[in-house]
């Protein structure tokens, strides 16, 4: 059997669990199975494990232990932040501000609030995905209770000027939430330096297990639970604690804190190899997102004249696992909202390919990608009528007579709700 | 279960009849790049038969597999037989397509019909039914 190299470049979706994390977790899946709320000895073991993890997570983001609340996933943290805060402060006002390129767990939580009588302002971003602190300032009104801007965007890597945005929010006395799910464990995150009131993070993004995430809630910030029940998490999030996953999250947080510097320096170097070397090998590809203030593990290119799903399926056949923001690769059949917000040409954006590195990626992996990627692009371009037209005329295809516009409308009708 | 059937993957990875016919008797195009799918079919007709069928496709795995399958199904058929190829029969031949791909990517038969229409117009209606 041929032993094909496997290069996993979808670390924005999930990271491989660190063996040391798994080892810490296993006793809590076996003999240490007590419910942390039980007052017997086995319960106390679980309770202690959770509190240790809370300290580890707090240390990762320079928070206090009693400001860390465990949840089940990043989406839950974001929902709790946006909806929980809106419910707690609705007497003060019913206006919230989010950026247009937030994760769906923020965007759709905001949309839900919009359906329930809140007003939502969606902040535009520039062509690199940056939110302007000045736009935040202009959008804030007397009845604004929350601004939510992600620390970085997982698709195009843009790291937002959160410190400046928090300055604006403090001045205007508005609370600020940041979704730091793709930055925690990848770049330094300090809640005090950032100046945020709430911050979401998830362990599965930094070599921890799925099933445990956290929300930092600054002291004195009120929040209404979105899951009612027991007194877990200081009454702010009911439900039996997922002890093994929380232990894993804590362990992953500690490892991330200790190993962050080495990890991200290596990733920046390998990221920049792909960003500089791929365009030398492939014509008509365009980097999405900024070159500066970019996540160390994020690479996103649009390959003109071809479609992203075709690219990633052929790369998949070579053991290279990537994703795409194209409409075809998206179950809703729409180009990604992030590429739309940075005004990527709709035809060009169909060829977008997202690659995110982990600490495990090596130079040999990058060499392999650089060798396998260009022939795949060539293969697809050789069968593309758009490329054919461009080759013959030097022009980009403009939908001409006979073009089936009804087809386009079909997509709109299928828009997800 | 993988996203696509084995047959779809085979036609996607090794598409049949990719290319262009320089002196085509009929050309049909459907879709547009904004949607993410565009197919151009070329046909060569001799004695009322599709002597050659070629295509170029911009699109996802399903779109490419569908084009390949249509070209294979149509080649050698009479005009009348080829007109009976439908998007549904193509999907069936491919062992099914994921539900969200049934409408957007499954346009190969439409492109073929357009190429046949184009041929009929070009040949002055003498072959029209």
Q: Where are the domains of chain B?
A: 6-118
Question: Torsion-angle region of residue A73: left (phi > 0), alpha (psi -120 to 50) or beta?
Answer: beta
Q: In percent, how much of chain B has pLDDT > 70?
A: 95
pLDDT above 70 as % of chain A: 93
User: What pTM was estimated for this model as a whole?
Assistant: 0.91
Q: Spell out the CATH class of B6-118.
A: alpha beta
Contacts of A241 (CB under 8 A, 6+ apart): A36, A37, A46, A50, A70, A232, A233
Q: Picking from A44-53, A96-105, A379-388, B27-36, which range would have the lowest pLDDT averaged per residue?
A: B27-36
Query: CB A82: neighbour CB atoms within 10 A?
Result: 30
Pairing of the two strands A144-148 and A175-179: parallel
Indicate which of B8, B38, B54, B101 best probes the interface with A, i.e. most A CBs within 10 Å of its own CB: B38
pLDDT at residue A413 in the model:
38
* B105, pLDDT greater than 80: no
A26–chain B Cβ distance below 8 A for any pair: no
Question: Cβ(A252)–Cβ(A203) under 8 Å?
Answer: yes
CATH number of A19-257: 3.40.640.10
Q: Which residues, in sequence order, are bridge partners of residue B49? A: B46, B78
- Residue range A256-277: mean pLDDT, rounded: 95
Order of all β-strands in the sheet with B49-58: B26-32, B37-46, B49-58
CA distance B108 to chain A (A): 13
A184 is catalytic: no
pLDDT computed for residue B37 by the predictor? 86
pLDDT in tens, A141-170: 999 999 999 999 999 999 999 999 999 999
Candidate from A52-66, A175-189, A194-208, B91-105 with smallest mean pLDDT: B91-105
The pLDDT-based confidence of B125 (bands split at 50, 70, 90) is low
For the segment A210-266, what is each residue's pLDDT rounded down to a tens digit?
999 999 999 999 999 999 999 999 999 999 999 999 999 999 999 999 999 988 899
Confidence band of A415 (pLDDT split at 50, 70, 90): very low
Domain regions of chain A by residue span: 19-257, 260-413
What distances in angstroms separate CA B108 from CA A46, A327, A331, B16, B37, one per listed residue?
59, 19, 21, 13, 10
Measured between CA atoms, how close is A153 to chain B, in angstroms?
24
Distance CA A60, CA A8 (A): 25
pLDDT score for A329 = 67
pLDDT per residue as tens digits for the range A116-142 = 999 999 999 999 999 999 999 999 999
Using CA atoms, how far residue A50 sits from A53, A81, A247, B118, in Å, is 5, 21, 6, 71
Q: Which of residues 397-416 of A touch B (CB under 8 A)?
A: 397, 399, 402-405, 407-408, 410-411, 414
- Average pLDDT for B48-75: 95
Write down the pLDDT at residue A68: 98
Instruction: Determine whether the interchain pair A306/B30 forms a contact, defined as Cβ–Cβ distance below 8 Å.
Output: no
Burial of A394 (0-12, 13-18, 19+ CB in 10 A): exposed
pLDDT reading at A291 higher than 60: yes
Q: For A6-47, how does the pLDDT look when each residue is reduced to its tens digit (9 = 90+)?
A: 999 999 999 999 999 999 999 999 999 999 999 999 999 999
Give the pLDDT mean for A100-112: 97
Please report the beta strands in A212-356, taking only residues with DSSP state E, as ranges in sequence order. Answer: 213-217, 285-287, 298-303, 320-321, 352-356
Residue B82 contacts A, CB cutoff 8 Å: no
User: To the nearest whole percent, how much of chain A has pLDDT over 90?
Assistant: 87
Per CB-CB distance under 8 Å, the chain A contacts of B66 are none
Weakest mean pLDDT among A250-264, A303-317, B25-39:
B25-39
Q: Long-range pairs for A210-213 at CB < 8 Å and ≥24 separation?
A: A210/A14, A210/A73, A210/A245, A211/A72, A211/A73, A211/A242, A211/A245, A212/A70, A212/A71, A212/A72, A212/A242, A212/A245, A212/A246, A212/A248, A212/A249, A213/A70, A213/A71, A213/A72, A213/A73, A213/A74, A213/A76, A213/A77, A213/A181, A213/A249
Checking if the pLDDT of A273 tops 50, the result is yes
Distance CA A353, CA B126 (A): 48
Taking 60 as the threshold, does the pLDDT of residue A50 lie above it?
A: yes
On chain B, the residues whose CB falls within 8 A of the CB of A329 are 60
Fold adopted by A260-413: 3.90.1150
B99-to-A150, A202, B3, B107 alpha-carbon distances in Å: 33, 32, 11, 14
Element (H, E) at A349: helix A346-349
Look at A408 and B107 and tell me if their CB atoms are within 8 Å: no
Which of A138, A188, A129, A128 shows the shortest CA–CA distance to A163? A188
């Amino acid at each position: 059997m041929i032993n094909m190299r496997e290069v996993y470049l979808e670390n924005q979706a999930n990271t491989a669990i660190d063996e040391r994390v798994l080892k810490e977790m296993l006793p809590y899946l076996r003999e240490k199975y007590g419910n942390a709320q039980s007052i017997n000895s086995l319960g106390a073991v679980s309770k202690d494990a959770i509190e240790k993890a809370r300290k580890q997570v707090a240390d990762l983001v320079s928070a206090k232990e009693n400001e860390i609340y465990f949840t089940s996933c990043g989406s839950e943290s974001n929902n709790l932040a946006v909806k929980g805060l809106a419910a707690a402060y609705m007497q003060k006002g019913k206006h919230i501000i989010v950026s247009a390129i937030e994760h769906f767990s923020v965007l759709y939580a905001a949309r839900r609030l919009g359906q329930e009588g809140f007003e939502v302002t969606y902040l535009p971003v520039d062509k690199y995905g940056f939110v302007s602190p000045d736009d935040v300032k202009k959008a804030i009104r007397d009845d604004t209770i929350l601004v939510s801007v992600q620390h970085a965007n997982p698709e195009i890597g843009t790291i937002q000027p959160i410190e400046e945005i928090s300055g604006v929010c403090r001045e205007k006395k508005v609370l600020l939430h940041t979704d730091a799910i793709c930055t925690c464990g990848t770049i330094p995150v300090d809640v005090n330096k950032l100046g945020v009131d709430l911050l979401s993070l998830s362990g599965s993004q930094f070599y921890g297990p799925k099933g445990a995430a956290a929300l930092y809630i600054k002291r004195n910030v009120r929040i209404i639970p979105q899951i009612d029940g027991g007194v877990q998490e200081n009454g702010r999030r009911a439900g039996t604690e997922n002890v093994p996953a929380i232990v894993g999250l804590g362990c992953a947080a500690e490892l991330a804190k200790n190993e962050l510097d080495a990890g991200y320096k290596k990733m920046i170097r390998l990221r920049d190899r792909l960003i500089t070397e791929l365009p030398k090998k492939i014509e008509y590809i365009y980097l999405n997102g900024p070159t500066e203030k970019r996540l160390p593990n994020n690479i996103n290119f649009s390959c003109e004249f071809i479609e992203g799903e075709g690219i990633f399926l052929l790369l998949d056949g070579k053991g290279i696992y990537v994703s795409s923001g194209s409409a075809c690769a998206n179950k809703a059949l729409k180009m990604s909202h992030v590429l739309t917000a940075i005004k990527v040409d709709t035809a060009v954006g169909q060829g977008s390919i997202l690659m995110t590195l982990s600490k495990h990626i090596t130079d040999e992996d990058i060499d392999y990608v650089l060798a396998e990627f260009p022939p795949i692009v060539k293969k697809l371009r050789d069968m593309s009528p758009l490329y054919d037209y461009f080759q013959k005329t030097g022009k980009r295809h403009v939908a001409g007579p006979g073009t089936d516009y009804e087809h386009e409308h079909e997509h709109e009708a299928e828009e997800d709700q | 279960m993988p996203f696509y059937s084995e047959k779809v993957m085979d036609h996607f990875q090794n598409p049949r009849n990719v290319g262009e016919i320089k002196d085509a008797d009929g050309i049909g195009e459907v879709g547009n790049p904004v949607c993410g799918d565009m197919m151009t079919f070329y046909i060569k007709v001799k004695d009322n038969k599709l002597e050659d069928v070629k295509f170029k496709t911009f699109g996802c795995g399903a779109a490419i597999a569908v084009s390949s399958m249509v070209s294979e199904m149509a080649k050698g058929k009479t005009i009348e037989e080829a007109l009976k190829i439908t998007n549904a029969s193509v999907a069936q031949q491919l062992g099914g397509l994921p539900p969200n791909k049934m409408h957007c990517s499954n346009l190969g038969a439409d492109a073929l019909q357009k190429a046949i229409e184009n041929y009929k117009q070009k040949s002055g209606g003498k072959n029209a039914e």
